[in-house]
Amino acid sequence: MGQRVEEFRVEAYINGDWQEVANGTTIGYKHLLQCKPITTNRIRFIIEKARGQALISNFSLYKAENIN
């Protein structure tokens, strides 16, 4: 159905406050975003702007070492 999300951000709950850890303007197949290492037990994905209804099938987090 094509690209629908035009703008998004990812936030983590850190030290009692929501902080943006990543953002972007497109979402594609296996799109990966990098962020600094954080410790949290809450993450939220916020779609700021979209064409029509966004269809997100998966959202995953990974811990990776030594990403350049």
Q: Which two tokens stand for residue 42?
A: 């809450």
Q: How much is the pLDDT for 13?
A: 97
All structural domains of the chain, each given as residue ranges with its CATH number in brackets, are: 1-68 (2.60.120.260)
pLDDT in tens, 35-60: 888 899 999 999 999 988 888 888 88
Whether pTM > 0.75 for this model: the answer is yes
CA neighbor of 3 nearest in space, from 23, 22, 25: 25
Contact yes or no for 51/6 (Cβ under 8 A): yes
Contact yes or no for 52/43 (Cβ under 8 A): no
pLDDT in tens, 21-39: 999 988 877 778 888 888 9
